[in-house]
Amino acid sequence: MDFRSDFARLKGFGADPDGGWSRLAFSAADNQAHDWLLAEARAAGLGARYDAFGNAILRLEGRGPKFLIGSHLDSVQRGGAFDGAIGVLAGFSVLKQLKAEGWQGRAIEVIAFRDEEGRFGPFTGSRAMAGLHDEAALARARAADGTDLAPLMQAAGFRPANAPYDFSDVAAYLELHIEQGPVLEAAGIPLGLVTAIAGQERLALRFTGQADHAGTAPMDLRRDALAGAARFATEFRAMIRAANDPDLRGTIGVFSVAPNQGNVVPGEVRMGLELRGPDGGQLLALRGAVEQLAEAVATDEKLDLRIRRVYSDQPVPMDAGLAAAMSAAAKAEGIATCELLSGANHDAGIIGRIVPALMLFVPSVGGRSHCPEEESDPAHIEAAIRVMLRMLRQV
């Protein structure tokens, strides 16, 4: 199996001198990594091409309808080497092994999607293949560091526009990924079968009171925006815990106070709130309950409240038939599995809305990801590759 040697070579693209990997979407390192992948695929006798957006597509010929295997090669700034990359290289290993066996089954394509990490927007590569972009907005896309997407793409020979893929003859999509969390490692299980990719609801809240002198404003006459926001945050956390659902997540990740001075009663607090879970109906109901809670707290604390719905994305269930086939293959390989939710979104969350899809997770050491310390055991990755090979041979 060539996974380890391929992985060692891929790690040479975007290695940061200060630690970690910075293979940002459409950067020189990112382009070089994709060029290397295509060159290696051609050398192995596989089909290899870019689509108009720059997504790299490797192909093992066969009959249809075909299987897709995908993930991404780009990283966050000073991120880890494993996120996304293992899924692409696992798919590459599958193609090489099956070709060496004289494969006579379904056609299989491996896709390295561009910009999964969202430098220029969420899942820009897989969304381009799904034809989901507002092309005028995409042409104006700009990264947080001020880099414009269009010149980068055009310099590499690509277009900032949709590049629709023909999914009509696709049987299924598979994606192997690191868990990016602690569940599998804690359970001592080498392979997770993802049941769904969590849906998301995001709200922006603004509590407005009155900024006053901290020494002269009596406590019972204050309209303290921070006191109200803190009370809301505490009750929000209690609400999520009271649901007693291990797959439900609630996070306040943005919190700013104005005027943020030690001798001034806070006059305004802005916060960003996120809900995640596998049940879309539950998330919508919970969003409503959270809004009602915020309104009740604001009224009781004599604050004005503004709520803005920022983002809503329904859960994407994984395909039960694929999961059953993969579970049987894992059992035949002697690999223990368990089911778990993906709290993070992935390219499978885009493609899985179009064709049957299944994600596989391998454990993340310490649950770490998006950092230089990100790591997974290569033996677990190779075990997952063997399971994927067995499953593909049997369908």
pLDDT digit string, tens, across residues 240-284? 999 999 999 999 999 999 999 999 999 999 999 999 999 999 999
Cα of first residue to Cα of last residue in the chain, in angstroms, is 22
Mean pLDDT over residues 74-79, rounded?
A: 97
Q: Looking at the predicted structure, is the pLDDT value of residue 393 above 80?
A: yes
What pLDDT band is residue 364 in, cutting at 50, 70 and 90? Answer: very high
CB 91 within 8 A of CB 69: yes
Q: At what angle do helices 225-242 and 280-300 cross, to 10 degrees?
A: 150
pLDDT one-digit tens code per residue, 170-223: 999 999 999 999 999 999 999 999 999 999 999 999 999 999 999 999 999 999
Mean pLDDT over residues 143-170, rounded?
A: 97
- The pLDDT, as a whole number, for residue 287 is 98
Tell me the sheet residues that pair with 354. Answer: none
- The pLDDT, as a whole number, for residue 1 is 65
- The pLDDT, as a whole number, for residue 64 is 82
pLDDT one-digit tens code per residue, 16-71: 998 999 999 999 999 999 999 999 999 999 999 999 999 999 999 999 899 999 99
Mean pLDDT over residues 314-335, rounded?
A: 98
Q: Domains (ranges, CATH) in the chain?
A: 3-198+315-394 (3.40.630.10), 199-313 (3.30.70.360)
- The pLDDT, as a whole number, for residue 395 is 85
CB 388 within 8 A of CB 337: no
121 secondary structure, DSSP code: B
CB 71 within 8 A of CB 85: yes
Q: Which residues of 138-150 are buried (b: 16+ CB within 10 A; e: fewer)?
A: beebebeeebebb
Computed over every residue of the chain, the mean pLDDT equals: 98
Percent of the chain with pLDDT over 70: 100
Beta strands 357-362; 191-197: pairing state: antiparallel
Q: Looking at the predicted structure, is the pLDDT value of residue 143 above 80?
A: yes
Q: What is the pTM of this model?
A: 0.93
Q: In Å, what is the CA distance from 284 to each residue of 59, 107, 179, 296?
A: 41, 40, 26, 19
- The stretches of the chain forming alpha helices (DSSP H) are 3-10, 28-43, 85-100, 124-129, 135-139, 149-155, 183-187, 225-242, 280-300, 320-333, 347-351, 378-394
Q: In Å, what is the CA distance from 170 to each residue of 23, 131, 356, 360?
A: 30, 16, 9, 19
